[in-house]
Amino acid sequence: MLRGYFDTISESIEALMPYSFISLGCASVIFLLGGLDRTPWRYSSVADHLQVIVLTMLSILLGLVLTFALNRLAPVARSLPVLQGGLIVSMLIAARSAARFWHTRLIHINGDGNGRVNKQTSETVLVVGVNTVTELFLLSVKEFASQFVQVAGILAEEPSMRGRVIHQKPVLGTVEELQDILQSLEVHGVAVDRIVVAAAADRLQSRSLDVLLEFEKSSQIVVQYLSERLGLEDPFQRPLVLSGRERNKNQIAIPRVENAIAIDRALFRRVKRVVDVVGAALLVFTLSPILVLLSFVVALDVGFPLIFWQQRPGLNGRPFKVYKFRTMRAPHDKLKRRIPDDQRSSAIGQLIRRIRLDELPQLYNVLIGDMSLIGPRPLLPCDQSAEYSDRLSVRPGITGWAQVNGGRIISSSDKLTLDIWYVQKASFVLDLAIILRTVKMVLSGERINTDAVNQARSDVGLKTLLRTRMLPAE
């Protein structure tokens, strides 16, 4: 009897062998063609996880079609493809999330040695060229300047390099597409300060050199040639226009927070982090049907990609990507002309923003440690005033005290004052009150809480005055 049982199992496994090999082959080909291997796991994003889901579904469907043509799927149970897809997606996403979480944790722990952002102003650069010098520059930034130099991406001379990854930095496009790439980065809140050319000027293709020289004449962004900076350029072959002009620093840089209010609440922070992870995981599981439905709605309304991101200053001013569902169409038409914002938004997009459903992808930011469920909303670097840098001493939140007491309809100064007040008064009781008020705000709309605004003005103003009086006289 026992022998018959094992014989039955052996026959079932043997019958499933064709489907197994076909599925494995389909997955290998589709995952490779889909570029699933291009992004290192520690840099995975929401878009990468959506890519895992789509490519897994395609590979299973292709495997089913080929197996059906072979043996009509006779030995394959109906539930097997569903279980197979769920297992593949769960394992791939879990592995990527774990790698991203661990990498982010190491960054937050190590930092600059004291958990703060380096005292030098953060700078964003684009690198031109795909060669060994580019690799050396990227490694040098990682080793010596990772805290204050952010590489937004790489520009190649050949279109075939687009989409490739060099030391975790993507090739965004070609040098001739420089203006379009800068506009695209601007939409995501990334302002480029410097363009580093990692190739000798006389080795650049003529059209690429012309684009760079023309761009240098018409832009305030510094164009810097590494060969010239290192003193390795032949002075007799150097082009007439190579030295970049220093950019007019009229934008508000990401403020430093070394003088932020010291909040000696280590236990509160650790417990809050645990609550954030557990709460975000539960919300993702509970709201997964809504997330899937929203993905279809966004795809039908504004198309792909489904997720929009912007670079914002987070804890201690460290830049990170905040994710949202897209609610607006592309900022430029086919002729690269700017489309007014009021023409990009749809009724569906406005409704999604009104009830805050576009913020749901930020649960991923919470899971990887960039954000908290409750805290000051992350602002664009140009909107983050150095006067209110204390709000960067805690993780930014999906919702916060400013959002539930006026949100978008109060002045920027009052909003920042409410954020500072929260930083000073943070507690679990206050967080619970914010959660309850958030539900009320989503259901009934935003209203200005005059009492909360006046209280924050009074408390924050008084504390600022006391701190000023304690400073030594000049």
Tokens encoding 307: 């997720």
Sort strands 222-225 and 194-197 into parallel, antiparallel or unpaired.
parallel
pLDDT tens across the length of the chain (474 residues): 444 444 455 556 666 778 888 888 888 888 888 777 666 666 666 777 778 888 888 888 888 888 888 877 777 777 888 888 888 888 888 888 777 777 666 655 554 444 444 444 578 899 998 888 888 899 888 888 877 888 999 999 888 888 888 888 899 999 989 988 988 888 788 888 899 998 877 778 888 888 888 888 778 888 888 877 776 655 444 444 444 444 444 444 444 444 444 445 678 888 999 999 999 999 999 998 899 899 999 988 888 888 988 889 898 888 889 999 998 887 777 776 777 777 788 889 889 988 889 999 999 999 999 999 999 999 888 788 777 888 888 999 999 999 999 888 888 888 999 999 999 899 999 999 999 999 988 888 888 899 999 998 888 865 554 444 333 333
Query: The domain at 123-229 falls in which architecture?
Result: 3-Layer(aba) Sandwich (3.40)
- Domain borders along the chain are 2-110, 123-229, 266-470
**Cα–Cα distances in angstroms (integers) from residue 423 to residues 19, 264, 412, in the given order:** 57, 12, 17
DSSP notation for 428-470: HHHHHHHHHHHHHHHHH-----HHHHHHHHHHHHHHHHHHHHH
> Taking Cα atoms as reference points, which of 229, 177, 171 lies closest to residue 199?
229
351 sits in the region (left: phi over 0; alpha: psi -120 to 50; else beta) called: alpha
The alpha helices in 34-131, defined as continuous H runs, are 46-71, 79-110
* Strands lying side by side in the sheet with 165-166: 165-166, 169-174, 149-156, 123-128, 194-197, 222-225
DSSP assignment letter at 324: E
DSSP assignment letter at 328: B
pTM of the model: 0.57
Q: How far apart are CA 142 and CA 251, in angstroms?
A: 25
Work out the number of other CB atoms within 10 angstroms of the CB of residue 155.
Answer: 26
The alpha helices in 339-411, defined as continuous H runs, are 341-344, 347-354, 362-367, 401-404
